[in-house]
Chain A
Amino acid sequence: SQTIHQWPATLVQPVGSPLSLECTVEGTSNPNLYWYRQAAGRGLQLLFYSVGIGQISSEVPQNLSASRPQDRQFILSSKKLLLSDSGFYLCAWSRDRGSHGYTFGSGTRLTVV
């Protein structure tokens, strides 16, 4: 069966510090991968998605970047965090076009102080 791992669960970082969140998927190959941010009352905001190694599409211009160095690994990064980067970050994967939905990880609660 397929599983998705996301870590860390909680992170407190000072403003201006770098960020690296990692997500890995097991039990499938060539998944579509997604990074979302969820802010209270604002729903899920798609940040990046990837359909293959090295292929990254950005949805929203921001202080973040994403990379996919391996087939089942998706990394969300920032060189210098802003207070506005605080939020709940979710990684997800889907088969093909995602017509049967996405499977989400357990999320990372990021607080920038």
Chain B
Amino acid sequence: QKEVEQDPGPLSVPEGAIVSLNCTYSNSAFQYFMWYRQYSRKGPELLMYTYSSGNKEDGRFTAQVDKSSKYISLFIRDSQPSDSATYLCAMKSATGFQKLVFGTGTRLLVSP
């Protein structure tokens, strides 16, 4: 079993839809959770960062962490064609030098 599971998609939605992207994980030591957006042929860019459980909102983006279920989500409101990209979740534990563990990414397509 992988430490982090993420549906590869693609997820196709019409413009203006609410998008829900999700990851599950198995390591209960993970405390830091991130979402990256990667456009085709570009490096990933950090979108959202969350520590431990709870919600964090930034504009149209909301990151949610449920540590009891080992489940994290990224919601995109009023999705735009420019949101079409691959979204990767990433997480790490708080102890020592632990490397980020990435999901394989979900490809999102927002059609106008």
What residues make up the interface of A, taking CB atoms closer than 8 Å to B? 6, 34, 41-44, 46, 49, 51, 88, 90, 92, 97-107, 109
Q: Which residues of B contact A101 (CB under 8 A)?
A: 32, 34, 36, 46, 49, 90, 100
Decide yes or no: A98 and B92 within 8 Å by CB, A43-B102, A43-B103 being known contacts.
Answer: yes
- Looking across the interface, which residue of chain A has its beta carbon closest to that of B104? A43
Q: Report Cα–Cα, A46/B97, bound state, in Å.
A: 14
- How far is the CB of A64 from the nearest CB of chain B, in Å? 17
**Chain B residues engaging chain A, CB cutoff 8 angstroms:** 8, 32, 34, 36, 41-46, 49, 51, 88, 90, 92, 94, 96-100, 102-105
What secondary structure prevails in chain B residues at the interface with A?
loop
Q: How far is the CA of A6 from the CA of B98 in the complex (A)?
A: 24
Q: Which 8 A-B pairs have the closest CB atoms?
A: A43-B104, A104-B43, A44-B102, A101-B46, A101-B34, A107-B43, A99-B32, A106-B43
Please count the residue pairs between chain A and chain B whose beta carbons lie under 8 angstroms apart in the complex. 54
Chain B residue numbers with a CB within 8 Å of A41 are 8, 104
Chain B residues within 8 Å of A44, by CB = 44, 88, 102
Residues on the A chain within 8 Å of B36, using CB? 101, 104
- Knowing that A43-B88, A101-B36, A101-B49 touch, tell me 9 more A-B residue pairs with CB under 8 angstroms: A49-B99, A90-B44, A97-B96, A98-B92, A99-B32, A99-B92, A102-B100, A103-B46, A104-B45
